[in-house]
Structure 1
């Protein structure tokens, strides 16, 4: 059976939801919602592939809903199209600030709506493919028994694999967004490591073949690790972060 993408349409006016649904229902499964809170609830239960989100709603406006979605690790890549009768520059800036991916004006033009939805879903499918490939690679590392972190240029944790959470005693998303050194390296032992990282990120030096230092588990236990660091670069060759794979040395003690 062919999978049909799900479009969540959110507007407190039922007629608008029905009209946009009419434009899209031949190609997509349409899910209606009539308030901000209902939209958030249906994101959890229905797992839509894209959201068409009205800005002006009485209980929770579209900006607030979008902010919640874009600050959650689970929904940050979910495309959000803000649908608004507002045309001011400040309103668009506000939408961009909360992470909106696109804007549609009211009354909605059928061709523009269909084109924007199709375009954003194409991008989402590419992102899903990349994430699936990344997760598959992470699974291989889990099987090999390595702890893996992806750190950005500010040493914030962007990703940690299942083995890392397991060894350190954290749930799936607990470590995301935290400073690796402040959060996981014992006090008094992090300044030298931060200096090393700063030099690597700036390109002044290359990572050592390996390095050994302890990290703190959630229960406060110090776990000795051997770390192997690799720099991450964008398409222009600029260093964007560090991939740290670590081996738990306590299992050899």
Structure 2
């Protein structure tokens, strides 16, 4: 039997929780919470697939619960539908700012509720599939034993494997979005490395077969890495970034 998706319903009014649960129970496993703190605990324990979240709660309002979920690596992709009697434009803007995926007004319409839950779960399943494929690819890159960094046309880090983070001394997502050159290249080499990478991005020059660059770890220790860089092209042939594969040469000096 296929596992059913789990829906967490959060509201401080028991009657509303029971009504929405009645609407959804035929298709989903329903979990209940009656305040913000309980909701966060239920999410940690039960790992729901979607959250229906009341805005106006006494101890911790829905905006704060949503903000915590969307700023956590573990729950940032968890769909959140804000359920509220508030209808003002500013209230919706505040919900968007904290990362809400959808809004439902009170009293909740059964058809609208079921349709939006179903739609967001379909998107979540696609995201889960993409993330699983990404994780498989990352495991393969980690097994290779090389530092692997993907940077975009603006030299920002889009992806870095476990070996890269370990070698450079960073946590898993710490380098994502940072300027690759500014973050790790030794100060006296920044201008030259940036110029070379930018020239490769614009197609005005080719990268060498490999190059050895002094790198600064997060803890300040200097190491030398031999980089083998490959240009990434989009469907139209335009250069969209680089894959930088690196070998830590300092291990041979130990």
| Larger of the two Rg values belongs to structure | 2
Compared with structure 1, are the counterparts of its residues 94 and 246 closer, same or farther at alpha carbon in structure 2 (3 Å cutoff)? same
Runs of at least 4 residues off by over 6 Å: 235-239
Q: Distance in 1 between matches of 2:176 and 2:133?
A: 20
Q: Is the 8 A contact 1:232 1:241 kept in 2?
A: yes
Query: Is 2:54 the partner of 1:54?
Result: yes
Q: Is the 8 A contact 2:6 2:28 kept in 1?
A: yes
Query: Is 2:214 the partner of 1:214?
Result: yes
Compared with structure 1, are the counterparts of its residues 229 and 77 closer, same or farther at alpha carbon in structure 2 (3 Å cutoff)? farther
Query: Is 2:190 the partner of 1:186?
Result: no
Q: Which residue of 2 aligns with 1:95?
A: 95
Q: Which residue of 1 aligns with 2:77?
A: 77
Q: How far does the alpha carbon of each residue in 1:168-199 deviate from its partner, in whole angstroms, 9 at most, with x for none? A: 33333343444433332233332333344455
Q: Which residue of 2 aligns with 1:33?
A: 33
Aligned pairs for 1:1-253 (under 5 A) are 1-152=1-152, 155-198=155-198, 203=202, 205=204, 208=207, 209-227=209-227, 228-231=229-232, 233=234, 241-253=241-253
Shift of 1:129: 0.8
Question: Unaligned stretches of 5+ in structure 2?
Answer: none
Compared with structure 1, are the counterparts of its residues 90 and 224 closer, same or farther at alpha carbon in structure 2 (3 Å cutoff)? same
- Where 1:103 maps in the other structure, the secondary structure is strand
Instruction: Please identify, of 126-135 and 28-37, the stretch whose mean Cα deviation from structure 2 is larger.
Output: 28-37
- Where 2:189 maps in the other structure, the secondary structure is coil
Q: Is the 8 A contact 1:210 1:229 kept in 2?
A: no
Compared with structure 1, are the counterparts of its residues 139 and 107 closer, same or farther at alpha carbon in structure 2 (3 Å cutoff)? same
Across the two proteins, how many residue pairs are aligned to each other? 251
Q: Is the 8 A contact 1:232 1:243 kept in 2?
A: no
Q: How far does the alpha carbon of each residue in 1:46-93 deviate from its partner, in whole angstroms, 9 at most, with x for none? A: 222111111122222222222222222222211111111112222222
CA RMSD of aligned residues (A): 2.7
Q: Is the 8 A contact 1:84 1:106 kept in 2?
A: yes
Compared with structure 1, are the counterparts of its residues 76 and 151 closer, same or farther at alpha carbon in structure 2 (3 Å cutoff)? farther
User: Normalising by the residue count of structure 2, what TM-score does the alignment of the two structures yield?
Assistant: 0.84
